[in-house]
Structure 1
C-alpha cells in the first residue's frame, strides 16, 4: 500500500491532490479542496484498471463546480425550500443559490473550502482524515461546527467515508459525497444500461422545482421499483410524471428498508464491475446526471447527459417541513456520526 501527495497551483490557490493505492492496485485520488474525489481506479473482469468517476480535466474548473463533481456536501445535502427553515421559535434565512431555494449548503459550503488533511497508514488500510470548522452563521446556519471526515481504502477494495460533526448550538446538518459513478471505465459509455438494486420500497415525490411535496410514494408498479434490480434506462424512457419532473431520469430520495445485506448495488454488465453500497444513513438521493450537457471538459471526454450516477446517502431536508421524514436536526453538543462504504468487485 502507498500514499502520495501532489501539490497543485490552481488560479493562485495552493491545493494538494492525494492518492491512496492498495495492494491490489485499486486507487482513490482526492483534493484537499472540497474533499473532491478526482479518480477511483478499479479493475474490470479482464483486470483492466480504469477510472470510474467523473472528474474535470482542468483543476481550475473545480472553482465553479456547479455540478458538485466528487465533492463533500454540507451543511445540508439537498434542497431547502425557499432557502429558510425554522428551528425552535427562530427562522433562519439562507442564501438562495438555485432559484428561490438553497442547494447543497449554498455558495460557501463544504464543497469549496480547503480541508486540513492527515494521512494514516494502518495494517490493512490507508486513511486520510479531513478536518474543517465552519463558524456560527456561516451561510446563515446556526452554530460553530467542527467536521471530521475520514476516507479509508482497504485491502478488500472498499472505499469508506466516515462523517463526524459537532455543533455548539442546535443546528441542521446532513452530509454526503457527490461523486458521479460510471462503471464502464474511463467514461466509455453512459450509465443507462447500468443495473441498479435499491433496498427501498418508498421514494419521495418532487414538485416542478425538485422540492419534496411531503408525499412518500410506494415504488411498486413504477419505474422507481429497484428492489429486484433494473436498468437506469427505464427511468429515462418512463412516462411517469416523477421521471419527467426530474428531466427524464432520477433525482429522488429513496428511503431504505434496511432489510438486505446491501442498501444499493450498481452493476455494469459489459465491464463486469459491481459497486456495493452499505450505509447507516436512512436513504439515498439517486441522481442520473439529467442536468449535464457537453459544456464541461472532463478527463476522458466532454460531459454529457446520463454520463454518471450519484448515490448520495443522507437524511432528508424535507424533515424541516414535513413529519415522517428522516430528521436532519443536530442538537447542541451532540455528535453526528454516519458512514458509507463503497465496495468494488466484478461479476
Structure 2
C-alpha cells in the first residue's frame, strides 16, 4: 500500500505525517498547535515542490503572529474593536491583533485539537481533527468544529471543514484558511497570479470593508512590482473557482480550488508579504467583518451544520 501515516517529533511538538511513498507527496499536521498543516509537498513531473511557507523552528512556529497556515474559526480576518451585534445582542471579543485595535482570525489558533480519525486506503489517506467550542469569551455558542485533511493518489490535497451547532441557539459562523504559498526558491516577482474575481472589497484605514469596487486587472497578471492585501468576491459559472500561482520559469502552476455557492467559500484574500518570497491565498466563507455586516455570514441553527472544501494541486 502506497500511503502511510506516522508520527514524528518537531522539537517538543508531535506531528502526524501523511505520505504517498510512491510519489513522496505528503503533508505534515500538528494537532496540538491549532491543527495546522506545517508542510505540504507535491510532485510535478520529476520535481517535488514544498509549497507552504511556515516558520522554520518549533519556537518560531509557536510564537508566529502571521497565522501561517492556521485555521480561522469561528471568524476570520478582523472585527473592529472586537465588537459585534448578533440577533439583537452585543458581544465583545478580546482585541488580539498587533496594535490592540481588533479581534482577528478566530478562537482556535494554536489550541490543541483532538485526533478523531486516521484512514489509509489504496487511493488516498486522511486524518480528521476536531475542536469543541463552548462558552468562550465573546462567543457564548457551542460548536463542534472539525477539519479533514486528505491526500489522494493524483496528488490532490483536500481540506474539508465542518461545523455543527451543538447548542440551543443560532450561532454565527465564518471559516478561513491562511496558507502562504511558494514555488521553489523564486521570488514572487517572477510569478503570475490568476484571481477568479471581477469585484474587490474596498477597505478603510483599519482594513475594514467600506464597499466594493470593480476589479479590472487582466488575468493572469505578473506579480512584479505589484502588492496585494485585498479581499475579493469570487465569481464562477460552476460550483468551484480556482486561484492560480504560476511559475513559467519552472513550468509549474499551483492551483487553489475553493467550493463556492450557498454557505461556501465566496470570498478570497490575497496578500503579498514585503519579503516577496511567498503569496498568501486565503479562501473565506464570508467577507471581512461579516459578524457585523452579515455579508456571507453563516447562521447555523441548533443541530445543523455547515461545511466546505478547499483543494491544492499542481499542474
Question: What is the TM-score of this pair, normalised by structure 2?
Answer: 0.88
* Aligned counterparts, 1:266-305, within 5 A: 266-280=245-259, 281-290=265-274, 305=275
Q: 1:217 to 1:96 in 2, by over 3 A?
A: same
Aligned counterparts, 1:207-286, within 5 A: 207-213=204-210, 215-220=211-216, 225=217, 228-235=219-226, 249-259=227-237, 262-280=241-259, 281-286=265-270
- 1:199 and 1:259 in contact (8 A); partners too: no
Q: Hey, what's the Cα distance between the residues in 2 that align with 1:134 and 1:258?
A: 33
- Alpha-carbon distance change, 4 to 266 in structure 1, aligned in 2, over 3 angstroms: same
Secondary structure of the 1:320 match is helix
Structure 2: how far apart are the matches of 1:327 and 1:23?
Answer: 42
Show the 5 A alignment for 1:1-347.
Answer: 1-8=2-9, 10=11, 15-21=14-20, 23-32=22-31, 33-45=33-45, 47-98=46-97, 99-105=100-106, 109-117=107-115, 118-136=117-135, 138-167=136-165, 168=167, 169-183=169-183, 185=184, 188-213=185-210, 215-220=211-216, 225=217, 228-235=219-226, 249-259=227-237, 262-280=241-259, 281-290=265-274, 305-314=275-284, 315-322=286-293, 325-345=295-315
| Structure that is richer in strand per residue | 2
Relative to structure 1, is the Cα distance of residues 286 and 143 closer, same or farther in structure 2, using a 3 angstrom cutoff? same
Q: Distance in 1 between matches of 2:164 and 2:88?
A: 22
Q: Write the distance in 2 (CA, Å) between the matches of 1:309 and 1:126.
A: 27
Q: CA separation in 1, counterparts of 2:74 and 2:297?
A: 14
Q: CA deviation at 1:44?
A: 4.5
Q: Distance in 2 between matches of 1:4 and 1:286?
A: 32
TM-score of the superposition, structure 1-length normalised?
0.81
Aligned CA RMSD, in angstroms, stands at 2.0
Tell which deviates more after alignment, 269-278 or 79-88.
Answer: 269-278
1:160-202 Cα shifts (integer Å, max 9, x gaps) = 111100122322222222111001x2xx122122211111110
- Decide which structure has greater helix share: 1
Deviation at 1:56, TM superposition (A): 2.1
Aligned partners of 2:43 and 2:101: how far apart in 1? 43
Structure 1: state its 5+ residue gaps. 236-248, 291-304
Q: Aligned partners of 1:8 and 1:192: how far apart in 2?
A: 35
Distance in 1 separating the partners of 2:292 and 2:130: 31
Q: CA deviation at 1:254?
A: 0.8
SS of residue paired to 2:109: helix
Shift of 1:68: 1.1
- 1:343 is displaced (CA, Å) by 1.6
Change (3 A) 1:233 1:150: same
The Cα shift of 1:10 comes to: 4.7
SS of residue matched to 2:282: strand
Which residue does 1:301 correspond to in 2? Answer: none
Which structure 1 residue ranges, 4+ long, deviate > 4 Å from structure 2? none
Distance 1:62 1:343, change over 3 A: same
